[in-house]
Amino acid sequence: MTHTLRECDVLVVGAGPAGMSAAARAAESGARAIVADEGVAPGGQIWRPALRSSSPVVAQRWAARLAGSGAVVLRSTSIVELRRGANDGWLALAESNDGGFQIAARSIVLATGARERFLPFPGWTLPNVVGIGGAQALLKSGMSVRGRRVVIAGTGPLIFPVAASLARAGAMLVVVAEQAPRHKVLRFAAGLWRSPALLARAAAYRAAFLRTPYATGTWVVAAHGEPAVQSVTITDGASTRAIECDLLCAAFGLVPNVELARLAGCDVAEGRVIVDARQATSMAGLYCAGEPTGIGGVDLSLAEGEIAGLAAAGRQADAALLGRASALRRHAAAIDEAFALRAEVKALAKPDTIVCRCEDVRMRELDPRWSARQAKLYTRAGMGACQGRICGSALECVMGWPADSVRPPTQPVRVSTFLQDIQSAQSLPHGAH
C-alpha cells in the first residue's frame, strides 16, 4: 500500500450546491482548492446527474463555474475522518475506489448536505416503501414509474418537485398527503408573495400534478402488502381510508448531516452546526455551509457556500451576498414553522413495529427511560450498517433521545483505509507538512 498525501489550502467536503459554490469561490480567490464527494459527479441531492431530464440552468452555470475555477474535483471519494494537522491545519482521511489516502488542508468547508427523516409506522419496512427524496433519487437514476399507482405521504416543500417529477414521468399519482394542518400551509403559501421566484417555482410544480389531490392535515397510518406494498392507510384524524398503490413515498422532512462536524469537535445544537455570519464553526479553520447548518433549500445552500468558500480563502463576502443569505434564512425559518411535525406522526409505531431496520429492533424492546446509548447497548438499535443514520433521527423524534456521540470513522470503511489511518497515526502524529 502506498502512502499518499495530498495538500491544499481549502478542502471542501461535499459537492452539492453548497460545496460547488464554496469550492468555486475559494479557487477563484486564489486558494488551492479540492472538493471531494462520495457521489459519481458533483451536483448533490438536487442536481445529481439525471438520466431522463436535463439539469436546470443554475446547475449548469455552477458546474461550468466550478470547472473553470481551477478547483480539483475528487469523485467517488468519501471523507471519513477529520483531525487536527500541523500548523493549525486539518488532516482529512479520504476513501475512494482505489483505497484510502489523506488530505492536508489549511481550512475545511463542510458541505455535507442532509438526508431524509424516516419515522416508523406499521409496514414501513415493506419493499416499495421509499422516501420522498428517495423516490426522486431513484427517478433520476432511471426508475420507470409509468402507469404505476403512487402515493406520497409526508411533509414539507420537497413534496412539490417530487410529485411533479413523478407525474411528468407518467406515474398515476393517487394522492399527496401533507401532515401539516391546512391553516399553516396556507399561511406559508401566502408568505411566498415576498419571493416571487419561489412562488413561480411552486406553482409550476403544482401545475404538473394538478389532477392529484393535495390533502393537508393528512398522514400515513400503515402500509400493507406481500411481498411488496399493495396499499396504504391514511387518516386526517377523523376518518381513515385505504388506498391501493404500487409505490409509497413516505418521509418526514430532512435531517442535517452533522456527523463529520461533530467528530471534528464543532458545536452542534438542535441537530445543526452552529456558525457565525462568515459560516465559521466553533473550531478554528472549519467552516460549514448548506443543509448541515439548518435545512434551507438550494438557494440558501448556494449563498452559504459562497460565503464559506470566500472566508476559507481569507476573503470577506460582500454585503449583498450576506443580505441574500439572511433573507433566505428567514424563509427557511418559515418552512420549519409551517411543516413542524404533529405529535401523531411521532407515535405511529405499534409495539411490534420495527424501529431499527438494520438490526430489526422492535418498538416494544425499547424502554422510554433509556438514552440512545443505552438502546444501542441493550438492543443493538443503531449498531447496524447505517450506523444509526435512519433509526437515530427516528428515535430522536419518537423517544425524544438526542443523537448519540459520533466515533470515527463516520461510515463503514474498508480495511485498507483503516490500516492506512493507523499507520499514519503512528508515523505522522500531527499530520504532514
Partner 1 sequence: MSAINIIVDGRTLAVEENATVAVALLDAREYAFRTSVSGEARGPLCGMGVCYECRVTIDGVPHRRACLVVVAAGMRIETAAARA
Ligand X SMILES: Cc1cc2nc3c(=O)[nH]c(=O)nc-3n(C[C@H](O)[C@H](O)[C@H](O)COP(=O)(O)OP(=O)(O)OC[C@H]3O[C@@H](n4cnc5c(N)ncnc54)[C@H](O)[C@@H]3O)c2cc1C
Look at residue 91 and give its three-state secondary structure: strand
Q: Quick one: 259 or 359, whose CB is closer to ligand X? A: 259
Long-range contacts of 238-245 (CB under 8 A, 24+ apart): 243/151, 243/174, 243/175, 244/149, 244/174, 245/149, 245/150, 245/151, 245/174
Q: Which residue from 77, 112, 136, 301 is in contact with partner 1, where contact means CB under 8 A?
A: 136
- Asked if the bond preceding 227 is cis, omega within 30° of 0, the reply is yes
Q: Which of 128, 131, 154, 214 is nearest to 345 (CA)?
A: 154
Binding residues among 208-247 for partner 1 as defined by CB under 8 A: 227-228
74 sits near partner 1 (criterion: CB under 8 A): no
Interaction with ligand X in 237-266: which residues (CB under 6 A)? Answer: 254, 257, 260
* Residue 144 interacts with which of partner 1, ligand X, none, CB < 5 to 8 Å by class: partner 1
385: its cell numbers: 450498517
Q: Which does 217 bind (CB under 5 to 8 A by kind): ligand X, partner 1, none?
A: none
Q: How many helices (H) and strands (E) does the chain have?
A: 13, 21
Q: Of these, 5, 72, 137, 208, which contacts partner 1 (CB under 8 A)?
A: 137
**3 state SS of 300:** helix
Specify which residues 219 forms β-bridges with: 235
Q: 70 vs 408, which CB is nearer to ligand X?
A: 408
Number of neighbouring beta carbons within 10 Å of residue 226: 8
> Per CB under 6 A, which of residues 291..350 are in contact with ligand X?
291, 297-298, 301
Count of residues interacting with partner 1 (CB under 8 A): 35
Nearer to partner 1 among residue 137 and residue 332 (C-beta): 137
What's the start-to-end Cα distance of the chain, in Å?
21
164 lies in the site for partner 1, by CB under 8 A: no
* Span interacting with partner 1, options 59-67, 129-137, 182-190, 290-298, rule CB under 8 A: 129-137
Residue 118 binds to partner 1 (criterion: CB under 8 A): yes
Q: Which three cell numbers stand for residue 284?
A: 478554528
DSSP for 360-399, please give it.
Answer: TEEGGG--TTS-HHHHHHHH-TT-STTTTTTHHHHHHHHT
Choose among ligand X, partner 1, none what residue 135 binds, the Cβ cut-off being 5 to 8 Å by kind: partner 1
φ, ψ of residue 6 in degrees (nearest 5): -110, 150
Give the footprint of ligand X on residues 77-116 (CB under 6 A): 78-79, 111-116
**How near is the Cβ of 353 to partner 1 at its closest, in Å?**
12
According to DSSP, the residues that pair with 33 across neighbouring strands are 10
| Closest by CA position to 12, among listed 327, 262, 279 | 279
The contact set with ligand X (CB under 6 A) reads 13-19, 36-39, 44-46, 78-79, 111-116, 133-134, 136-137, 158, 161, 254, 257, 260, 290-291, 297-298, 301
The contact set with partner 1 (CB under 8 A) reads 38, 40, 45, 51, 115-116, 118, 125, 127-131, 133-138, 141-144, 227-228, 354, 357-360, 384-386, 389-390
